[in-house]
Amino acid sequence: MLEQGLKDGAKVFGLATGSTPETLYQELNKSNVDFTNSISVNLDEYVGLGKEDKQSYSYFMNDRLFDTKPFKENYLPDGKASDLDKECEKYNEIIAKNPIDIQILGIGQNGHIGFNEPGTNFDVETQVVDLTESTINANKKYFDNIEEVPSQALSMGIGSIMKSKKIVLIAYGLEKSDAIKNMIEGSVTKDVPASVLQKHNDVTVIIDKDAASKLSIFMVLPFQQI
Ligand code: F6R
């Protein structure tokens, strides 16, 4: 899908971090895909972590993808910016200058996309968010202990995510099954941020059997290269 996107002229890729896109990035690293003329714009970064911090999303992206597959330009919010509000404005300008052709999304167990937690307005742009207990718990596996998980992050807003031309949401595992059901079959509500995707006209959802297990109808299709 990303390869096809590149062939079709996609220039700007919105990228996600976390465990979900790891296999995607491994496959891309093994492939012949060439991103040297592409631009990446990531969804989020922890407040207080910089690119040298192993738990930062900047470090993650270099390690998992950019070191092997260089892009023309890579953008992530700067978690160490001294003025976070200014950093949000700066990031909005970056997104406005580089409209996203294909946005890759994971989903939180609580239905968050990016780090837009339940209750976030659908029209927000980049903002400083307080991470919920559910998100901190889900992400503690990357840290030595839970106290080290930052309590805040900078996140691209839902308004910006919804402006992406094409969205690909990926989810694996039983712990995502409620979020997937609510996203696809529930009503569009701020309580489930991902439910807003029902209003986007080009969303592909790639899920495994476990993540799909609470949907009322689902078909298992053979693996397709993404
Ligand atoms: C990460 C991001 C988050 C994650 C979500 C799922 O950049 O924006 O929305 O996609 O928290 O995380 P994993 O994939 O670790 O289950």
Bridging pattern class, strands 166-171 and 102-105: parallel
Instruction: Please identify which of the residues 87, 112, 116, 125 carries the catalytic annotation.
Output: 112
Instruction: Report the separation in Å between the CA atom of 108 and the middle of ligand 1, taken as the mean of its atom positions.
Output: 6
Please indicate whether residue 44 is annotated as part of the active site.
yes
Report angle CA 217, 220, 222 to the nearest 5 degrees.
155
- Measured in whole angstroms, the distance separating CA 134 from the mean position of its chain's CA atoms is 17
Q: Is 16 in the pocket of ligand 1 (CB under 6 A)?
A: yes
pLDDT tens digits along 5-27: 999 999 999 999 999 999 999 99
Mean pLDDT of 92-104: 98
The residue whose C-alpha atom lies closest to atom 10 belonging to ligand 1 is 106
Identify the H or E element spanning 96: helix 84-97
133 is catalytic: no
Identify which of 85, 76, 67, 68 has the alpha carbon closest to the alpha carbon of residue 13: 76
Q: What is the pLDDT of residues 27-53, one digit of tens each?
A: 999 999 999 999 999 999 999 999 999
pTM for this predicted structure: 0.94
For the CA of 113, the closest atom of ligand 1 is 9
User: Which residues are CB-contacts of 179 (< 8 A; sequence separation ≥ 6)?
Assistant: 107, 108, 109, 110, 111, 171, 192, 194
Instruction: Put residue 114 in one of left, alpha, beta given phi > 0 → left and psi -120 to 50 → alpha.
Output: left
**Ligand 1 centroid to 2 CA: how many Å?**
19
Cβ(108) – ligand 1 distance below 6 Å: yes
The yes-or-no answer on residue 112 being catalytic is: yes
Over residues 110-135, the pLDDT tens digits come to 999 999 999 999 999 999 999 999 99
- How far is CA 162 from each of CA 76, 185, 186, rounded to the nearest angstrom? 18, 19, 18
- Annotated active-site residue 110? The verdict is yes
Mean pLDDT of 174-202: 98
End-to-end, the C-alpha distance of the chain in Å comes to 5
Domains in the chain, CATH or no CATH each = 2-212 (3.40.50.1360)
Residue nearest to atom 2 of ligand 1 (CA): 114
For the record, the structure tokens of 84 come out as 């976070």
Among candidate residues 216, 199, 200, the one with its CA nearest the CA of residue 103: 200
Is the CB of residue 64 below 6 angstroms from any atom belonging to ligand 1?
Answer: no
Go through 6-34 and write b for each residue having 16 or more CB atoms within 10 A of its CB, e for each that does not: beeebbbbbbbbbebbeebbeebeeeeee
